[in-house]
Amino acid sequence: MSSVMNALSYQHFPIYAIMVLFLGAFLIVVFGGNRTARNILALLSITASLAFILALVKPVMWDGEIIAYWMGGRVPAGGYAIGIALEVDALSLFFALLVSVAVFVSGVYSIQYMRHDDNEREYYTLFLMLGGGVMGLVLSGDLFNMFIMVEILTFAAVALTAFRNTAKGALEAAFKYLVVGSIGSTCILVGTSMLYAQAHTLNLAQLAQVIPGNLNTATKVAFALLFVGFGTKAFIVPFHPLAADAHGAAPASISVMISGVLTKSGIYGIIRLTYFLFQTMNLGTMQFLLVFIGSLSMFVCVTMALAQHDFKRLLAFHSISQIGYVLTAVGLCTALGVSAGLYHAMNHTLFKGLLFLAAGAVLHETGTTDLGKLGGLSKKMPYTTVLFLIGAFSISGIPPFNGFASKWMIYQATYQKAVESGNIGFLLVTIIALVTSVLTLASFVKVSQSVFFGQLPRELENVKEVPFGMRFAMAIFALLCVLTGLFPNLVTTYITEPAARAVFSVAQYIGAMGFDASGVAAETAVSFAHVGVWEPISWLLILCIALLSVTIVAVASKYDRVSQCSGEAVDSKYELFYGGEAQEFSQVGGGDLFWGFKHNWRGYFDVMHRLHSGVVNDYALWAVVDLALVLLFSLIVL
């Protein structure tokens, strides 16, 4: 009886949350020939994993406990750790929550979305392996085990990117992902090996105890390798083209996983690397590195999104733009900044998951994601339209949706950092974040016009709403977007602030594994004070952003090219009334809505076009150049 009670202890839940996903993948291989059995096994696996993670919220996130779970033996105190360990603090649990929710909703959506595809058994096997790999990475307390999980999730993601191998560009996208992803994985492996050679341990807590006081050339090189390796998983600049290719080719349910889960694994790795293992975030130069890359990712990717003509590729660039917000906020190294960054990471999982599922619904019913071939779908797919608009309002930072709350906190955090540090550069970051938000809103005006409003093409007359199961999955994300926007104080108090506090609790993390943390600086008092989300100044700021957005639309529309309809007769219900003038129907296509903006910025977009060649050799070269720059940075600065 006692052994049964011990097995049901929440101390075992982290390993259960990981293994139930891998077990589900194995059982689907064995018994998944029957569709009903396959669906039941997949739903049971993802539901159980979510339940185990939710059960840890109170003891870990609210009560502040850190779970140290050893799966092997270990030597007495003072020696080196032997065996694989899981260590779950509020930070790792926060990311595990994002993973479990995204896996659950995406799995529910897949039941009907993938039912017409061949090889469903292989799909669910890879799907659960991908989820298990990311879950294992964020809960691991061992650096080499993190590498193993990176390998599992990378190759599962590559296979799922190529899953619909008859789709245009699927195999090419998977190959690019494989090449650059392998470069990233190799960097993590070599960096891990170099740290092991220096510290003779792979345990994260013990590495955090040993490394900061022993920074030499080898450990600095290891830092550069690990940073670039995790950067490839987050798809931050210069690895952002991979996200566009992978999202465009993969099924929508996998796009949710890549956007909402894989990118967060990279951000999690960067946080563990900079705040815990090397403890270098007190350096202004390290803060500059994260904020610079984050700001660059924000701006470059949002402008790339404006230039896209494919629904999913546009969303992919927006995904990395929003990850730029997260990295920027985390790079501020302030309690408010980290809390705001984590809040936006959570919101990104929700609203970007919703948008990709909406894009999948459009593809499911129309067979295309080409903005030039869509339009007027609100007449045929009203539920999908409403759910899409919730996601669009959320990512654009429109109140009362969640994107507004987290972006507003990021604006405050960057401005506060500028005031406290006296560095005008952080004020520039605030402006970049605001401009990015304006361009995001403008981009989704374009998408809404191109896909859901305007003229309905005749070939889409028979389109209908997607099945209930797909709408239900989208509705879960939509509801969470609304709730996390309406109650920001609850979100910050019970979710993001405990996780942010854990980021600054390095000594507690080390001590929880039984190692001496006396040499680590004690946790300083952290303050999350900020202007309330619903304060009048917030609404004044949003009004300014809205006015800027309207100005951009108005100016851009001045230069729009008018697409004349063909000579064939137009149904009278689509005719426009001009008060006695000759009736001519003109439809502003998705590619033309911001033609004026793109024309005025044609020099910039020409450069971007040349840089984004689509050649895998160029992307690999970018990875090498990025590694060289980060290596030079670490050798000089650390």
Res. 180: pLDDT tops 70: yes
pLDDT band at 575 (very low <50, low <70, confident <90, very high): very low
In the predicted structure, residue 247 carries a pLDDT above the cut 80: no
pLDDT in tens, 43-81: 999 999 999 999 999 999 999 999 998 876 565 455 565
pLDDT in tens, 466-512: 999 999 999 999 999 999 999 999 999 999 999 999 999 999 999 88
pLDDT of residue 208: 92
The mean pLDDT value of the chain amounts to 86
CB atoms within 10 A of CB 488: 21
Distance (Å, whole) CA 53 – CA 12: 11
- As a whole number, mean pLDDT of residues 394-409 equals 92
In the structure, what pLDDT confidence band is assigned to residue 346 with cuts at 50, 70 and 90? very high
Give the pLDDT confidence of 479-492 residue by residue, as tens digits. Answer: 999 999 999 999 99
Nearest to 46 by CA among 129, 112, 118, 148: 129
Task: Read off the pLDDT of each residue in 350-367 and give the average, rounded to a whole number.
Answer: 94
Summarize the confidence of residues 398-418 as an average pLDDT: 91
| Cβ proximity of 228 and 627 under 8 Å | yes
Helix axes 143-161, 263-271, angle to 10 degrees: 160
Pair of tokens at residue 310: 């494919």
What tokens were used for 344? Answer: 């936006």
| Percent of residues, the chain, with pLDDT higher than 90 | 58
pLDDT value at 562 more than 60: no
CB neighbour list of residue 566: distance below 8 Å, 6 or more residues apart: none
State yes or no: pLDDT of 461 exceeds 70.
Answer: yes
Residue 605 has pLDDT above 80, yes or no: no
Written as six digits, the tokens of 12 are: 């075992």
Instruction: Tell me the mean pLDDT in the region 222-251.
Output: 89
pLDDT band at 586 (very low <50, low <70, confident <90, very high): very low
Does the pLDDT at position 558 exceed 60? no
- Which whole number is the average pLDDT over 286-305? 94
When pLDDT is averaged across residues 548-568 and rounded to a whole number, the result is 48
pLDDT at 573: 44
**pLDDT at site 548:** 59
**Separation of alpha carbons 184 and 635, rounded Å:** 20
Confidence bin at 86 (pLDDT 50/70/90): very high
Least confident piece of the model among 43-52, 454-463, 525-534: 525-534
What 3 state SS string does 333-353 have? CCHHHHHHHHHHHHHHHHHHH
pLDDT category, 542, cuts 50, 70, 90? low
The pLDDT assigned to 207 comes to 92
Peptide bond into 400 cis (omega under 30): yes
pLDDT band at 560 (very low <50, low <70, confident <90, very high): very low
pTM comes to 0.90
Identity at 514, one-letter amino acid code: G
CA distance 272 to 274: 6
Identify the weakest region by mean pLDDT among 124-138, 335-349, 413-427.
413-427
Check residue 271 and give its pLDDT.
96
